[in-house]
Chains A and B, each alone.
Chain A
Amino acid sequence: MTFDLALTGSDLLLLLPEILLTLWLCLMVCLDFSMRKITHQNLAYLGIGGVLATLVVLIWFDLTGITGTLFKNMFVLDRLAIFFKIFILLATALVMCSSIDSVRTFRFFKGEYYFLVLMSTLGMMFMASAGDLLSVFVTVEFSTFGFYVLVAYLRDDLRSSEAGLKFFILGVFAAGLLAYGISLVYGETGTLIFSDIAGTSGSYGMTIGFLLIFAALGFKIGAVPFHSWIPDTYQGAPTPVTAFLSIAPKGAAIAILIRMFYVALASFKPMWVLLFIAGSILSMTYGNIVAIAQKNIKRLLAYSGIAQIGNVLIGLAAGTKQGSDAILFYLLTYLFANLGAFAVVIGVSHIIKSDEIEDYSGLNRRSPFLAASMLLFLLSLAGVPPLAGFIGKLYLFVAAIDQELYTLLIFGLINIIISMYYYLIVVKKMYINEPLDPSPLTVSIPLKTVVYVGIAGTLLLGIYPKPFIDWAVSATLMFSNIAGPTAAAGSIFGG
């Protein structure tokens, strides 16, 4: 494979968002080192400014329809990539905004925190554009390195170090699987590019290779049975990092999954549909059932995140255009509800220094604002109308019924009821129990902003979802001709 690195101006334009963010990163590092007086807070605002500037560029791309590919399909900038880049940048901006309070309590390396966050973001933006297996490997590792450091950021905290270690070991293990899988696929097909793999015929080596790749990406999204690192890592990591980890890498990995299975493996759909049905059922059921027993809100959100990924996999199991639309929209609803919930957790833990659900007792008396917004976010996660999560789940179920995946549907529905139960436990603590310490809680302005954005998103996507659905639909236009109902899957799971 030879690369022609003579990039023209129009080629560079496709890379503009990444180039802009890279330059911004360098600027931030330089400022942090050279200007002693710059506060971490201003650095955060500067970083958010960079993210927003990149967002503007991407929105401009989306509106004017600037798309293209570079380096022989290694880097793909289509509307799907733009969607996920906007998604990741939105998450990054909200996470940086909600980090400001927590970073103040760090003892060292306050400036580097934002640098690392942005670097991971950069990696994930490349993930969204990965068009062949080599760039999948490079970009996944690129984005994960930032997280290895971020998770263990509280150096003197035993839990944080433990979380970092677990995350690192399993992450490296996943990287090994990924590399091995890629090598198998390359050995069998002689190509790494998704669109070229699509033309090859299947073989055992290729099946094993893709299973390994799926396993590695399963680690990233935290789908059962690759979820084991999630609870401890989520609990031990600084809460803003947990929030970041719970949404952005999942989005980026889902982008790769969609691209890989819809483009490279479209002709093997009857096989991978079964894989996703199994993954979805396992993730939803395991995540929801184990979440019931949790006493720590971060662990609860970790398990609920596993279950939510199970919901997302419903869309992949449908394996249709409708399914991918539903995934994109669902991820948007998840972004607002999940980051909003984490923002509340950050706000509460900042004052009461605890993440135990027990300590949320009587939150409504201490801060009606935080309690009401938490209620809203949890209900949206559970899928109660008229909030965003309901429309998201409705779309996923519509996609599943369209493909006659009734078994999957029944599991999805039962899981809604189970999830409602543990979300209600938190609601009960906040609203019905009396507080141990009735002093009011106050929230800082940046955190409040995040909560407000979360509320606005959760309500808007629920009440007026049309523009967002249209956006998701147009982002996956290229999958319009993906195979219809699968005879093989239908005969097995169609009962």
Chain B
Amino acid sequence: MTNGFPWLTLIIFLPLVGAGMIAVAKESLARQIALACSTLVLLLSLPLWALFDPSSAGMQFVERHRWIASPPIYYALGIDGISLPLVLLTTFLTPLCVLVSWTAIEKRVKEFMISLLVMETATIGVFCALDFVLFYIFWETMLIPMYLLIGVWGGPNRIYAAIKFFLYTLAGSILLLVALIVLYFQGGQTFDILALSQASYAKDLQFWLFLAMFAAFAVKVPMFPFHTWLPDAHVEAPTAGSVILASVLLKMGTYGFLRFSLPMLPDASATFTPLMMVLSVIAIIYGAYMALAQEDLKKLIAYSSVSHMGFVTLGIFAMNPQGIEGAILQMINHGITTGALFMCVGIIYERTHSRQIVDNAGLAKPMPRYATFFVIFALSSVGLPGMNSFVGEFFVLVGAFVWDKFVATLAALGVILAAAYILYMVQRVVYGMPGVEPSRKLVDVNWREFGMLVPLVGFVFWIGLYPKPVLDVMHASVDQLLARQGLVMTAEAPRAVQENVIRLSSGTRPFEPAGLESRLDQEP
């Protein structure tokens, strides 16, 4: 069905070609080329969705060429139900990032657009790579453009934030490199991710490998207590940088857990599950609690990210179909919602040059259309039923509930806190009393901004009301992932999970999310 056409190579390297064109083109054309290029990539990625066969759990659109003979490193690409949504999320958000920077970036536009496109190449590459070394190369390549995005176009404290971001993530990745080399020797002298996922490793080796990978992925997610770089990076980054960071980069961490930690190290994953669940719950509640106290809009959303990503890791380590599918869905939702919120903050920052809530109070009157968008995305972030985050968070909570009732209850507390901090923010920003300069003229969203927010609203309601197409794509891959997990599930695991696994292996899915109606019936 793929006819051997190199779709993935095309969408990975087209942005790089675009970056090359921008490098030689005139400064004034940089925006147009970047937009054209990223839109083209988006259009080329749509056939992936159409041609993807959701019934197959294997890798699709596979490309495999020998790259280095010894040790055997392949240029191997492919996507399954876990990576496809993330690839599409990336291709979808990059043109929006170009649009959001259209007027916000005034100096060194060329370099900015080049960095943005190189980022796109690296992130899509991460989600498509099937060779561990190739994966690592894309994973690391993304650091440099992100460093420059924060460091060159960021806020006043950008140098500190950029270097902190860089060293934090580099320290994590270096340990991933060790894990990679050790896996090579222990997994039969191969870097093939699929082969490494089939091999079995000694238990105490798994323990250390899990820790090494955890260092890389947990920093990226970021999980509590490795989250401290995130608020700094978000506050200082330009809007497009924040959007990419929140929507795509953080997903690389959770994707890493799904692609590497769980399938390659099933024993260690089971051992570490309680710790992961505890850390996730702490992240959910702590992030929400911190968000309550923030006066800076970007910082508030950054802490809400910590909380929301806590839901994702919670779902992943619940290790049941609901949890993992909810986690993947929540990755997408968080990308859409938080990306949109950062865009909203960027829009208002362009007008008032402040991100403080007090400086941006009472926008409903001067900017009614903006206020509408802002409220929609804010409510989506809360997880209002009918909107995207509700579906994801609901699934995750069900998954967590199956794992342990108490954990799920604590995590649900995060939803309440989210309602508190988001509504408090909305109340002040949208309906508050304009503070300092009541007389200033604020222009409502223009057509460009309108154009980039409307598709996001579309996704918020599409996933919120009819998530089936997105969920269908991932069923087969998630089942396969859990089957691998089921092989090693031991008596230590809670009974509920065991029951799930048994039912799963007998072929019936314990919980079939057919559509909104059936799901609502089961809501407690």
Contact = CB atoms under 8 A, between A and B. Distances in A.
A391 B158 CA distance: 31
Contact of B181 (A364, A401, A416, A469): A401
A150 to B, nearest CB: 36
Nearest to A400: B181
Interface residues of A, number: 30
Given A420-B166, A420-B170, A469 B151 contact: no
A402 B189 CA distance: 11
A473 interface: yes
A384 B177 CA distance: 12
A466 B73 CA distance: 10
A431 B185 contact: no
A385 B181 contact: no
A390 B140 contact: yes
Interface of B: 67-71, 111, 133, 136-137, 140-141, 143-144, 147-148, 151-152, 158-159, 162-163, 166-167, 170-171, 174-175, 177-178, 181-182, 184-185
A428 interface: yes
A277 interface: no
Contacts of A279: none
A470 B158 CA distance: 44
Interface string A408-447: 0100010011001100100110011000000000000000
A401 B179 CA distance: 11
12 contacts: A385-B141, A398-B184, A401-B182, A409-B178, A413-B177, A417-B167, A420-B170, A421-B163, A428-B151, A428-B159, A432-B158, A465-B68
A394 interface: yes
A427 B111 CA distance: 14
A385 B137 contact: yes
A390 B175 contact: no
A424 B140 contact: no
Contacts of A377: none
Interface string A339-371: 000000000000000000000000010000000
Contact of A397 (B148, B170, B177): B177
Nearest to A401: B181
Contacts of B185: 401-402
Contact of B71 (A398, A409, A416, A424): A398
B68 A466 contact: yes
A21 interface: no
Given A385-B141, A417-B171, A473 B70 contact: yes
B383 to A, nearest CB: 38
Given A420-B170, A421-B167, A413 B137 contact: no
Interface of A: 364, 375, 379, 384-386, 390-391, 394, 397-398, 401-402, 409, 413, 416-417, 420-421, 424, 427-428, 431-432, 464-466, 469-470, 473
Given A413-B178, A428-B163, A432-B158, 16 more contacts: A379-B144, A384-B140, A384-B143, A385-B140, A385-B141, A391-B68, A397-B177, A413-B177, A416-B174, A417-B167, A417-B174, A421-B163, A432-B152, A466-B68, A466-B69, A469-B69
A394 B174 CA distance: 11
**Interface residue SS majority, chain B:** helix
A445 B71 CA distance: 39
A368 B145 CA distance: 16
A379 B177 CA distance: 17
Contacts of A421: 163, 167
A375 B118 CA distance: 15
A241 to B, nearest CB: 32
Contacts of B175: 413
Nearest to B180: A394
B159 A386 contact: no
Contacts of A417: 167, 170-171, 174
Contacts of B148: 431
The listed residue with most A CB atoms (<10 A of its CB), out of B71, B137, B148, is B137
Nearest to B148: A431
B143 A469 contact: no
Nearest to B153: A432
A385 B174 contact: no
Contacts of B143: 384
Contacts of A390: 137, 140
A355 B221 CA distance: 41
A424 B147 contact: yes
Contacts of B147: 424, 427
Nearest to A413: B174
B504 to A, nearest CB: 37
A431 B151 contact: yes
A413 B174 CA distance: 6
A23 B71 CA distance: 43
A229 B23 CA distance: 42
Contacts of B111: 364
B282 to A, nearest CB: 27
Contacts of B137: 385-386, 390
Contacts of A394: 133, 177, 181
5 nearest CB pairs, A to B: A385-B137, A413-B174, A385-B140, A386-B137, A432-B151
B176 to A, nearest CB: 10
Nearest to A470: B69
A386 B142 CA distance: 11
A77 B310 CA distance: 62
Given A385-B141, A386-B141, A431-B151, A466 B67 contact: yes
Nearest to A393: B177
A469 B69 CA distance: 9
A416 B176 CA distance: 13
